[in-house]
């Protein structure tokens, strides 16, 4: 089958579509859907519980505001890294992905600091203050996902320094970027959810 | 565009897969840690069958207690040991038995054993793919299931007994280790096991969906897919969206049990002493649990319905009636499954208005279900029915689906449910409509695809005996339970002493009858086990296409090798249900026969399809690129 022959085929037809998406990327989107459902379950549970009354209202630690900014910045650099990889711009790629990783780590430490802030204000995970326990669940489980994201990011980081990510080999960094942007979006959702539903 | 992305992806995987092709994998890679979807399917099937016998045996033990409350059970001591006290079943162990029976049957047999087997086996074979999208994740999926099985199985043997709070493990019973012996270590193991189980299901589901979407052979458009594949696809979507929510519920329960939180606990007194936990809500758990729990019913049932569509159309030698209506009704069931969960909670003190909304949504499910039932019957109508054992079990499924389904309309009514909630009426309903029906789907699938699974045939005579004993047995067990439920017998009770009008005496005979029927039905399954395992080794050799079926799996070699097709994967030109087509000499036209080869039987609109055949052929290069390792 020659290339010319392929050109004659209308690529918009249905049969082509059966094989047009990278299965790995598709799987990642499905995984994202299931993680979303898990958090949707929790946020709905939070609302149901809150509606029952007897609810402790308190302010979120300020540091969560800064950590949100840090995570957004890291997401921006992730985007720049992918763009650099597409143009085979290796120096920019290395710098951008390193910054992404560093900001990701910083985010994780800030979340941890947020926990100790909560503890300082007598807001503990265990005990009878359910409102506080929920915060630990949201931030903690999101943090676990961030750790998994950092592991994925580390693989891309190492590959970028070995120059094995380039314009012809983008799958790895694209998968990594999709997941990282998702974790960023998930945190934004959780942050604003908690901010408006205290 | 399409080719470019695929190439980029291929160069990456090239080195690894190259090795694969030239070395026949060793015993361990081939039969144990296999990445081949057919081997994984067989692993799921055999694990599922073993679990089914354990789950069934547990139900026989508690049926002995219910049917013959005065029986001396000392003869069970060699197996149950300390669980038999003075010739009687220990009360706590009775609760453990019903819990484990439910858990094993719902999750390990009818979820993993059914869709694990047939989704894995049939998706690549029927859509024309060499394997699943990710063989590695598929292997992980089975071994997570295996790990979860080992933990659940081990929990049967610990001193305090396995989890005992019912398969729904409602808190606070399940959240407080001091509540009952089964809420201690047994419950911890239950939760651990189920966490691994959920991981396994998610890995499997991701794979099934991706494979169906991405790896169909050329020409296999969505409207040419067999209904089995549609059913597995919707099942996987249901699982992918609902199992994570069960994980949410289970994690909060784990926090309550082990980390001292109060998500589900509030104002509980044990032995006159108040627990420190306040502010939790036990109802919250029920909401989260049933958000999975209800879709789970369809996760169990849909694959069985898909298998039935295929088996009935093939053996009635008629096109399936209402192909698109079947897809539409499955889609409807999938969507509705997510918005009816609270009908399990009508008596939790929920707002009656909310109850009426959920009642309305629940009753709507009767519509797509009835569409499916009518379509099965109209497919059978005036067909040239061939009664293979697989066909008998499929027709049996339709029967059970209808007789179990009509009681769903009664239970879905929020007013009637007040009376019937948690009685044997509910037990009868769901055992018929999802338990037995799905089991029949599983058995139909095993009988029908056994030649493809093992290259041999199962014995038909034994199959018929097995079917009639099981079919009669299932009705004898579950039909009388409706009356027992209406008489007010609550489920999960160890014994009955003070029912209205002395119902416990009036219905003693009926309970004994049910138990005898259950024992006979269970014994009849030995016929199946013998037939199954004997035929794997000694069965009659299968022919290429023993049921004269249209779908792609019958175009593979009799003993399917790695990669499924030896040459090119066949292209698909028509839907899978061209049976007894007017004008055609043969009463079936497989999916890979182009319309240009059958001018005598084409409908006018199909003659127009001939022009597109070149186009489908042209995709061969694109398709080969996907597998170009």
What ipTM does this complex have? 0.88
**Span B536-594, pLDDT tens digits:** 999 999 999 999 999 999 999 999 988 899 988 999 999 999 999 999 999 999 999 99
**pLDDT for B24:** 65
**pLDDT for B111:** 96
pTM to 2 decimal places: 0.92
**pLDDT for A126:** 87
Question: Class for domain B2-266+275-538, per CATH?
Answer: mainly alpha
Contact of A136 with A194, CB cutoff 8 Å: no
Asked whether the beta carbons of residue A18 and residue B214 sit closer than 8 angstroms, the reply is: yes
Q: Cβ contacts (< 8 Å) between A128 and chain B: which residues?
A: 262, 276-279
Q: Cβ contacts (< 8 Å) between B216 and chain A: which residues?
A: 18-19
| pLDDT at residue B507 tops 80 | yes
Task: Write out the H or E segment, with its range, that includes residue B88.
Answer: strand B88-89
Does residue A31 belong to the interface with chain B, where contact is any CB pair within 8 Å?
yes
**pLDDT for B271:** 83
Q: Which residues of chain A have pLDDT under 50?
A: 1-19
- DSSP for B389-421 reads HHHHHHHHHHHHHHHHHHHHHHHTSTTHHHHHT
**Span B337-384, pLDDT tens digits:** 999 999 999 999 889 999 999 999 999 999 999 999 999 999 999 999
Structure tokens at A186: 């998930």
Peptide bond into B172 cis (omega under 30): yes
Assign B628 a pLDDT band (cuts: 50, 70, 90): low
Does residue A47 belong to the interface with chain B, where contact is any CB pair within 8 Å?
no
Asked whether the beta carbons of residue B245 and residue A5 sit closer than 8 angstroms, the reply is: no
A52-90: b or e for each residue (b if 16 or more CB lie within 10 Å)? eeeeeeeebbebbeebbebbebbbbbbebbbebbeeebe
Contact of B74 with B138, CB cutoff 8 Å: no
Q: Give, as one character, the DSSP assignment of residue A61.
A: P
CA distance A109 to chain B (A): 23
- DSSP for B554-604 reads GGS-SS--TTS-SSSPPP--S-TT-BS-TT-SSSB--TTS-GGG-TTT--H
Domain limits of chain B?
A: 2-266+275-538
> CA-CA-CA-CA torsion for B317, B319, B325, B327, nearest 10 degrees?
80
Q: Cβ contacts (< 8 Å) between A5 and chain B: which residues?
A: 618, 621
CB contact residues (below 8 A), chain B span 200-259, against chain A = 202, 205-207, 209-211, 213-222, 240-245, 247-249, 251-252, 255, 259
CA distance B218 to chain A (A): 6
**Span B289-338, pLDDT tens digits:** 999 899 999 999 999 999 999 999 999 999 999 999 999 999 999 999 99
**pLDDT for B626:** 75
**pLDDT for A7:** 45
**pLDDT for B276:** 86
**Given B9, B248, B262, which is nearest A22 (Cβ)?**
B9
Asked whether the beta carbons of residue B276 and residue A133 sit closer than 8 angstroms, the reply is: no
What are residue A146's phi and psi, to 5 degrees?
Answer: -60, -40
What are residue B245's phi and psi, to 5 degrees?
Answer: -70, -35
Cα→Cα distances B47→B136, B434, B438, B491, B524, Å: 19, 20, 17, 29, 20
Contact of B179 with B95, CB cutoff 8 Å: no
Q: Cβ contacts (< 8 Å) between B208 and chain A: which residues?
A: none
Q: Cβ contacts (< 8 Å) between B206 and chain A: which residues?
A: 27, 30-31, 34
Q: Cβ contacts (< 8 Å) between B219 and chain A: which residues?
A: 15
Does residue A4 belong to the interface with chain B, where contact is any CB pair within 8 Å?
no
What are residue B177's phi and psi, to 5 degrees?
Answer: -55, -25
**Given B1, B202, B213, which is nearest A26 (Cβ)?**
B213
Q: Cβ contacts (< 8 Å) between A140 and chain B: which residues?
A: none
- DSSP for B142-172 reads HHHHHHHHHHHHHHTTSTT-S--STTTT-TT
**Given A24, A30, A52, which is nearest B281 (Cβ)?**
A52
Q: Cβ contacts (< 8 Å) between A86 and chain B: which residues?
A: none
CA angle B370, B372, B375 (to 5 degrees): 110
Rounded Cα distance between B275 and B272, Å, is 10
- What domains are there in chain A, each with its CATH number? 66-198 (1.20.120.80)
What are residue B100's phi and psi, to 5 degrees?
Answer: -70, -35
């Amino acid at each position: 089958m020659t290339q010319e022959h392929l050109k004659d085929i209308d690529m918009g037809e249905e049969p082509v579509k059966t094989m047009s998406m990278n299965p790995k990327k598709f799987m990642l989107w499905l995984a994202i859907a299931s993680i979303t459902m898990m958090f949707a379950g929790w946020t709905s549970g939070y609302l149901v519980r809150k509606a029952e009354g007897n609810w402790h209202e308190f302010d979120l630690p300020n540091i969560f505001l800064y950590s949100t900014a840090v995570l957004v910045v890291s997401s921006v650099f992730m985007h720049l890294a992918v763009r650099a990889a597409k143009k085979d711009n290796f120096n920019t790629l290395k710098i951008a992905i390193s910054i992404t990783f560093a900001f990701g780590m910083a985010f994780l430490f800030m979340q941890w600091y947020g926990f100790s802030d909560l503890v300082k204000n007598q807001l503990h995970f265990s005990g009878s203050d359910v409102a506080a326990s929920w915060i630990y669940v949201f931030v903690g489980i999101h943090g676990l996902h961030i750790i998994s994201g950092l592991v994925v990011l580390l693989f891309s980081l190492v590959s970028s320094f070995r120059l094995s990510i380039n314009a012809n080999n983008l799958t790895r960094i694209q998968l990594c970027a999709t997941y990282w942007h998702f974790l960023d979006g998930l945190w934004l959702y959780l942050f604003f959810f908690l901010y408006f539903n205290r | 565009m399409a080719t470019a992305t695929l190439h980029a992806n291929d160069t990456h995987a090239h080195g690894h897969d190259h090795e694969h092709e030239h070395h026949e994998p060793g015993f361990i890679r081939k039969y144990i840690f296999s990445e081949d979807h057919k081997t994984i399917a067989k692993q799921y099937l055999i694990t599922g069958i073993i679990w089914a016998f354990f789950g069934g045996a547990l139900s026989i033990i508690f049926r002995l207690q219910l049917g013959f409350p005065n029986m001396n059970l000392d003869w069970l001591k060699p197996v149950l040991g300390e669980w038999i006290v003075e010739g009687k079943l220990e009360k706590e162990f009775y609760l453990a038995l019903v819990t484990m029976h439910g858990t094993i049957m719902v999750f390990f047999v009818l979820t993993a054993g059914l869709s694990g087997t047939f989704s894995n086996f049939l998706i690549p074979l029927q859509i024309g793919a060499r394997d699943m999208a990710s063989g590695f994740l598929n292997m992980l999926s089975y071994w997570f299931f295996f790990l979860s099985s080992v933990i659940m199985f081990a929990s049967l043997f610990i001193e305090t007994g396995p989890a005992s709070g019912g398969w729904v493990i409602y808190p606070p019973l399940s959240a407080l280790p001091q509540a009952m012996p089964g809420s201690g270590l047994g419950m911890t193991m239950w939760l651990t096991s189920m966490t691994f189980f959920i991981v396994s299901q998610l890995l499997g589901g991701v794979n099934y969906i991706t494979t169906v979407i991405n790896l169909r052979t050329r020409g296999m458009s969505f409207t040419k897919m067999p209904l089995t594949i549609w059913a597995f696809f919707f099942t996987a979507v249901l699982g992918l969206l609902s199992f994570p929510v069960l994980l949410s519920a289970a994690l909060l329960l784990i926090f309550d049990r082990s980390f001292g939180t109060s998500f589900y606990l509030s104002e509980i007194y044990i032995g006159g002493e108040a627990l420190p936990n306040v502010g939790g809500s036990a109802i919250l758990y029920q909401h989260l649990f049933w958000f999975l729990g209800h879709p789970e019913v369809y996760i169990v049932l849909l694959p069985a319905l898909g298998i039935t569509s295929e088996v009935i159309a093939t053996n009635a030698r008629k096109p399936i009636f209402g192909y698109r209506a079947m897809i539409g009704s499955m889609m409807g069931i999938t969507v509705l499954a997510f918005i009816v969960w609270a009908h399990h909670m009508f008596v939790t003190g929920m707002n009656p208005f909310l109850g009426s909304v959920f009642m309305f949504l629940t009753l709507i499910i009767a519509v797509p279900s009835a569409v499916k039932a009518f379509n099965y019957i109209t497919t059978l109508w005036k067909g040239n029915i061939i009664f293979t054992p697989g066909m008998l079990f499929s027709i049996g499924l339709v029967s059970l689906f209808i007789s179990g389904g009509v009681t769903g309309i009664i239970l879905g009514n929020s007013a009637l449910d007040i009376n019937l909630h948690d009685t044997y009426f509910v037990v009868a309903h769901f055992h018929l409509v999802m338990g037995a029906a799905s089991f029949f789907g599983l058995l139909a699938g095993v009988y029908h695809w056994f030649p493809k699974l093992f290259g041999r045939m199962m014995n038909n005579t034994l199959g018929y005996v097995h079917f009639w004993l099981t079919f009669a047995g299932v009705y004898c067990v579950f039909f009388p339970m409706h009356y027992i439920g209406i008489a007010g017998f609550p489920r999960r009770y160890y014994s009955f002493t003070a029912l209205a009008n002395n119902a416990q005496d009036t219905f003693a005979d009926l309970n004994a009858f049910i138990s005898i029927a259950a024992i006979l039905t269970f014994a009849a399954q030995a016929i199946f086990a013998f037939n199954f395992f004997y035929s794997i080794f000694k069965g009659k050799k299968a022919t290429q296409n023993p049921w004269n079926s249209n779908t792609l799996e019958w175009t593979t070699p009799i003993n399917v090798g790695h990669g499924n097709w030896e040459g090119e994967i066949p292209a698909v030109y028509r839907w899978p249900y061209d049976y007894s087509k007017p004008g055609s000499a043969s009463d079936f036209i497989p999916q890979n026969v182009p319309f240009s080869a059958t001018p005598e039987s084409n409908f006018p609109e199909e003659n127009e399809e001939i022009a597109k055949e070149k186009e489908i052929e042209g995709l061969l290069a694109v398709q080969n690129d996907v597998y170009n390792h």
